[in-house]
Amino acid sequence: MIKESIEMDNKYLEESRNTKLQELEEKDKYSSYQEDLAFAKELNILRNDFYYQMLDSTYTALVDFSYQPLDILSGDAYSARRIDKNKTF
């Protein structure tokens, strides 16, 4: 009788643990999905007037920027803007 009770308790605890683990995995998967969406939005906001353009000055160069934030929603925003023919910001 006690052995059966202990086995039932262990089974219940294992099922409960597995349910919690599955819930945590689903939350983590959803959180990763939301982070990917947020990062895509952040990249869409970035402004780069030189994106994959060939620039001719003393030499020809292909200009692009590498954006690698330390955190997904860093709040940082970057842009590379052409002010006029000789100035960039």
Query: Is the pLDDT higher at 60 or at 13?
Result: 13
pLDDT at 74 (0 to 100): 65
Cα(18)–Cα(10) distance, rounded to whole angstroms? 12
Give the tokens for residue 33.
Answer: 């999905």
From the CB of residue 46, how many other CB atoms can be counted at a distance below 10 Å? 14
Cα 28 to Cα 47: distance, rounded to the nearest angstrom:
31
Tell me what pLDDT residue 77 has: 67
**DSSP labels, 7-31:** HHHHHHHHHHHHHHHHHHHHHHHHH
Q: What is the pLDDT of residue 5?
A: 82
Q: What is the pLDDT of residue 89?
A: 72
Distance CA 81, CA 50 (A): 8
Q: What is the pLDDT of residues 18-63, one digit of tens each?
A: 999 999 999 999 999 988 888 777 776 666 666 666 666 666 666 6
pLDDT in tens, 53-89: 666 666 666 666 677 777 766 666 677 777 887 777 7
